[in-house]
Chains A and B, each alone.
Chain A
Amino acid sequence: MTGLTLSNLSVYRGPCPVVEDISLNLHPGECVGLIGPNGAGKTTLMRAALGLLPHKGTSSLARLSTAERGRAAAWLPQMREIAWPVSVETLVGLGRTPHLGPGQRPGPRDAAAIAAALARMDLTDFAARRATALSGGEQARVLIARALAQEAPMLLADEPIAGLDPAHQITTMRLFADLAAEGRLVLAALHDLGLAARFCTRLILMQRGRLVADGPPAEVLTPDNLARVFGLRAYMADTPDGPVFQPLEVV
């Protein structure tokens, strides 16, 4: 189990296709940005890929057993839900769920994974705090730490940087890029095309359930695609600080 393979994946809501006939091969080491306007089917594609939705076609993840999938991929839903006032450490510890057998208590390996995840998200000092008492941005970081503690080779995230302040948006995208550089596969649905262009190694553009473009940012964010899919005109340049992308005007 190294990458994520989707073949002819379709999801129907009633008779209408929400995701239609998508085939993809994603590899370890890639930081993939899933982009497209609202309603393009990004969330549906990721949930179907995980096997959380009934679908046609195949996904290499959905074919795994529930427990195996839990060890293969971490999933960060768009809804940042923390139902109970548990401690940050407890919440991050939930990421270890797929690694525990029935009735098995968390051991030193789990403790180490939790500590590493907390440290990586700069949350070590928050370990004992109640997760529900944190600010929205802090909660988002706690939930990412939970996904890191899962230590899965794949991370699927649905709009992980929505609602974060600019610094944390950049930190998070940098983290994703780093994870990919370490050999993991990251697939994130993103609305911020500028950050997508800067940090992703590959972009997948969706429109009305279909795959429109797939490739390195510069090849996907073409003026033609932007106009056709987003109705946008943008400024894009390669600078010494990396690629810069700025939407300018609605066309």
Chain B
Amino acid sequence: MRGSVGRSRPISLFAALALCLAGAAAQATPPPARVASINLCTDQLAMMLAAPGQLISVSMLVRDTRLSPLAQNARAYPVNHGQAEELFLMAPDLVLAGRYGAQATVDMLRRLGIAVVQVAPARSFDDIRANIRTVGTALGRKAEAEAMIARFDADLAALARDPATGPRAAVYAAGGYTSGRGTLIQDILSAAGLRNATAEAGRKGGGRVPLELLVTIAPDLVIRAQRYGGASRAENMLDHPALAALMADQPVHPRSDGTYICGTPLVLRAVAELADAARALEAR
């Protein structure tokens, strides 16, 4: 740097930059031209909301068909591995990140002078609306965000069923994880006309439920998580004979997939599938 002080070009560049910034402050903030996302859920919202060419990178996870309903679309974007160094080299104006899990990376990016917007995981349909707004605002795509929310609400209204007397359902994922009250799953089940059996048994948030407790709760519908390749003991539990016996007279065996994970309008696909399951159960 010091060697270039005497030359005129860098100085004029700085001047231009200063002018730009002053101008931007005077008008509205211009939308960020280069946006990178490092979180599975912000990836999906950004892909749905960004202007063409605005999103320059998404996280590696979003290409995984088991985690993301947008895996195919994600192939159009270069992927990142959520590491500060590679992100810095991409020279983004804005990085979208989750609220939890990548704090070290986020701190490092901010220290490097890159703007970061963190989005909390959605715990309800209201959170979905809020997150769409947050990402839309960050991308400078407020109008698109409002339109997306309106469409989401309309679709939801068309699908939604009354859960008050519906069948009792429980999600059961690898390692015995379930979702109780105050989770996105709770809202998905309700919208599909299902009662959340583990929430009714007093579960708050996500957490492990011992298999024998699940068997005692005896839900009408157990929604198991989709299997991954390879083997793990955590998933091995989904094959327990007691669980198989519990599910023996279920007419349908839905599996939770990527649409259950992130708060995007795509949760409505899960709602639709579960609404069908609820109807099948009620028809018994």
Give yes or no for direct A-B contact (beta carbon below 8 Å). no
Partner-B contacts on A (CB < 8 A): none
